[in-house]
């Protein structure tokens, strides 16, 4: 397993902790935090977000699928205990789609000096927005602070019934999703650590999640990762179960995220079910590749 990631990426922290929880060994390729990513896109076919998991010539985009794929390959210990999995997914959706955006604006607007100077221009391009100046960033940070604080307080109150983990009595995907949003507060500097100070239960729980560790990473170059893909054959596709309206295996398709970073990936559909979509492409640099996406959050169309 190879993870393409970078240090201050909170979604990468989610994947690193999942690898740690499952005590896995992995190759660690550090990718640029800003587009273009010329050593990553031959593998993904255009997807530019972070992180990306590679297993031979199979490429898994988006942590929603990456963590599921880790679970398929290393089922124990599970992050999807059956009695908690559905509600954990719902909490994870809230954390990543409602909590994280204001968190990101709040932290970035206060920490511009410790983040790459061209980061905000890149992120604005990624979202199709005009490039913000520093004053605009600071105003957005101030507005976002007012959305962040009540949500942090809501997390603290999730533990008032004595539960050990976010969704109940066992670790789940919800712990990783909520944790990575809070982790971002102090990813590069402790300047905003005071936001967590009034919340002792969050402190105790974050220490337990941090203790999952990152497994056993071994540094690897992007060129070596591409060579691994070129010399590997994608895993044979499992039988598909498309819905009535879906394109069918064998069809040429285009897939893109439905929120931001909407760079399209095109190829032949080789697998589709309720959770996952996989596309075969031949890349001039990386060779025969199958790129996998989660179903929810992605827009799939016939070409």
Residues that bind ligand GSH (CB under 6 A): 9-11, 33, 35, 48-50, 62-64, 126, 261
Q: 62 or 276, CB closer to ligand GSH?
A: 62
CB 29, min distance to ligand GSH, A = 13
CB 14, min distance to ligand GSH, A = 7
CB 46, min distance to ligand GSH, A = 12
CB 297, min distance to ligand GSH, A = 6
Q: 16 or 199, CB closer to ligand GSH?
A: 16
Q: 203 or 275, CB closer to ligand GSH?
A: 275
| Residue nearest ligand GSH by beta-carbon distance | 49
In this structure, are residues 280 and 290 in contact, taking their beta carbons and an 8 Å threshold? yes
Q: 97 or 233, CB closer to ligand GSH?
A: 97
Q: 35 or 137, CB closer to ligand GSH?
A: 35
CB 244, min distance to ligand GSH, A = 27
């Amino acid at each position: 397993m190879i993870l393409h990631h970078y240090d201050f990426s909170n979604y990468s922290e989610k994947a690193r902790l999942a690898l740690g929880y499952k005590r896995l060994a992995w190759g660690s390729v550090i990718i640029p935090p800003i587009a273009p990513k010329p050593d990553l896109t031959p593998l993904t076919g255009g997807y530019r977000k972070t992180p990306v998991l590679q297993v031979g010539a199979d490429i898994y985009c988006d942590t929603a699928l990456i963590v599921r794929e880790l679970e398929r390959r290393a089922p124990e210990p599970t992050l999807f205990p059956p009695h908690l999995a559905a509600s954990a997914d719902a909490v994870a959706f809230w954390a990543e789609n409602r909590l994280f955006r204001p968190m990101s604006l709040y932290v970035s607007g206060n920490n511009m000096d410790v983040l790459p100077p061209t980061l905000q221009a890149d992120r604005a391009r990624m979202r199709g927005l005009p490039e913000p100046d520093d004053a605009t960033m600071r105003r957005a940070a101030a507005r976002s602070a007012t959305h962040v604080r009540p949500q942090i307080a809501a997390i603290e109150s999730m533990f008032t019934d004595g539960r050990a983990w976010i969704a109940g009595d066992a670790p789940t995907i919800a712990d990783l999703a909520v944790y990575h949003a809070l982790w971002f507060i102090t990813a590069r500097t402790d300047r905003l650590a005071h936001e967590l100070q009034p919340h002792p239960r969050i402190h105790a729980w974050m220490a337990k999640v941090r203790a999952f560790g990152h497994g056993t990473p071994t540094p690897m170059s992007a060129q070596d990762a591409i060579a691994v893909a070129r010399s590997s054959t994608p895993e044979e596709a499992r039988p598909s179960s498309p819905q009535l309206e879906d394109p069918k295996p064998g069809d040429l398709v285009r897939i893109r995220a439905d929120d931001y970073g909407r760079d399209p990936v095109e190829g032949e559909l080789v697998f589709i079910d309720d959770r996952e979509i996989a596309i075969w492409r031949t890349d001039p640099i990386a060779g025969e590749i199958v790129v996998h996406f989660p179903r929810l959050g992605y827009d799939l169309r016939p070409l």
